[in-house]
Amino acid sequence: MSGARVESRPVIGITAYRERTQWSYWNRDADVLPTAYADAVADAGGSPLLIPSRPDAVLDSLSRLDALIISGGPDVDSGLYNQPRHPAAGEPRRNRDATEIALLAAAVSAGTPVLGICRGAQLLNVWCGGTLDQHIPDDLEKLHHGANGAFAPRRVQIKKGSWLDSALGETNSVSCHHHQAIRVLGNGLRATAWAEDGVVEAVEMEGHGMVQGVQWHPEEAQGSLLFGAFVEHCRTSARDLAVSASASRTGGSAS
């Protein structure tokens, strides 16, 4: 990792969807991602890099990244938390689950900053041994998303003293589109934000640096605040690592 790169734009990997996609004459499987993710990272001063769903081929990319974003998307496979699939849940994307779990495990082990968004927060919870509510309307009157793919504004209460509090403040209006949510919190995670109806809207991993998950979609609204704080943390962390590595090579302190 070069010091020049760290000072310019930290490289932020973003996991991509693998979906049937149509363009021009073609209708084929493709690795795709809504442009809002890459734009939010770039606008915050980061350099976005898309990561496809290939668990056998992507782990080496982690060493080239300053941070990892696990993006939103289809429902996490309920088999990963030993539950049958709810009729309202979508078909699992097992290659994507496997890819993102492998990346998440490697990132946490390496101390690489992680931000999980919507599905990404849910996957983080499942990887830590937690479970999901597979269809929120079964338990609550309020839906957490709008009709026809719209994002619904929701007010969230953020835990005082959390990293999220430092980024957004104690209350904030966010953009949501999810019908699943955390039910049982995973080991080593703590909740850091809640919706008005009590649904957990954000989590962080205790004792592992920057590992955050938010149920809402900050790339759709409030992106400049959350992505800005995340990218700045990544820039600072990468700079510190570069300085530490330089000092280790020279056998002394680096200025």
Q: What is the pLDDT of residues 75-86, one digit of tens each?
A: 999 999 999 999
Per-residue pLDDT at 222: 62
Average confidence score pLDDT of the chain? 88
Contact 16, 32 (CB under 8 A): yes
Is it the case that residue 183 has pLDDT exceeding 90?
Answer: yes
Per-residue pLDDT at 242: 58
The active-site residue, picked from 145, 217, 220, 233, is 217
pLDDT band, residue 4 (cuts 50/70/90): very low
Is-above-0.85 flag for pTM?
A: yes
Contact 175, 225 (CB under 8 A): no
Contact 126, 133 (CB under 8 A): no
Angle ∠(120,182,41) on CA atoms, nearest 5: 25
The active-site residue, picked from 100, 204, 219, 220, is 219
Active site residue 196: no
The active-site residue, picked from 100, 118, 144, 178, is 118
SS3 204: strand
CA-based nearest residue to 178, from 204, 213, 209, 210: 213
Active site residue 178: no
Active site residue 219: yes
CA-based nearest residue to 117, from 66, 187, 70: 70
SS3 165: helix
